[in-house]
Amino acid sequence: MKTAVQKRLFHLRDEQYAAFQAKITPGIPAEKFIGIRVPQLRKFAKEFFKEPESKSFMVVLPHHYFEENMLHGLLIEQIKDYRECVAELNKFLPIVDNWAVCDIVSPKIFARHKQELLPQIKEWTASPKLYTCRFGLEMLMRHFLDEDFRAEYLKIPASVPSGEYYLDMMVAWFFATALAKQWKVTVPYIEKNLLDKWIHNKTIQKARESYRITAEQKTYLKSLKR
């Protein structure tokens, strides 16, 4: 029997989209997908967040459907209190089992709490949980590659153990973004072969696909491929 929230989510169902989501999110059984497009789910989450039922929904973990986990993440990112937001993330992240749910969460409150956020990011990136670590790396990439950047922050993704595809992809994405934003201090990681070979080559590929990398830089990166 479906819960009240599940019934509401099924009203937004697109079965073709459910099949598409199942294809791009390996490891999750097809029957776990309802099939809701992200803009619709975001709209639902924004409205649902204001309802008292959202609090009871967030107490029950893990959820059954993929979209329930997506919804949970979208509810967390709307929390306006930093400590509450982190507390809810620390309950939620250990049950995340795919890249899509991990990557949809980007709390707005983090931009105003950089000082407290950095130590928390270091805790997440040190986690043995694949998607907790990936989330930490993504928050580091989003919040600490611009005006708050320090060269020492590059050591965090460089020290993450390699071998997990979705973690290696995140590290490559991080370094490709760092090359675009902080070229001078990032390129030595490529020149000196400081990254795992697969991550090294994937970083170069992703950087060369970026419009933020100059043609000259792309040519140089190509010459560094291993």
Q: Which domains does the chain have, with CATH numbers?
A: 1-112 (no CATH), 113-226 (1.25.40)
Q: Dihedral of the CA atoms 82, 88, 94, 99 (nearest 10)? A: -70
- Please choose, from the candidates 28, 27, 33, the residue with its C-alpha nearest in 3D space to the C-alpha of residue 6: 33
> Is 112 strand, coil or helix?
helix
Give the mean pLDDT of 81-90: 98
Note the pTM of the prediction, 2 decimals: 0.95
Give the mean pLDDT of 114-129: 97
Q: Judge whether residue 94 has pLDDT over 90.
A: yes
Distance separating alpha carbons of residues 45 and 129, to the nearest angstrom: 26
Q: Judge whether residue 84 has pLDDT over 90.
A: yes
Q: What is the pLDDT of residue 38?
A: 96
Q: What is the pLDDT of residue 8?
A: 97
Q: What is the mean pLDDT of the chain?
A: 97
> Is 58 strand, coil or helix?
helix
- pLDDT digit string, tens, across residues 4-37: 999 999 999 999 999 999 999 999 999 999 999 9
Give the mean pLDDT of 134-154: 97
> Do 32 and 64 contact (CB within 8 A), yes or no?
yes
Distance separating alpha carbons of residues 207 and 200, to the nearest angstrom: 11
- pLDDT digit string, tens, across residues 178-189: 999 999 999 999
> Do 135 and 93 contact (CB within 8 A), yes or no?
yes
> Do 164 and 126 contact (CB within 8 A), yes or no?
no
- pLDDT digit string, tens, across residues 49-68: 999 999 999 999 999 999 99
Q: Judge whether residue 47 has pLDDT over 90.
A: yes
For residue 111, give the amino acid letter: A
Q: What is the pLDDT of residue 1?
A: 84
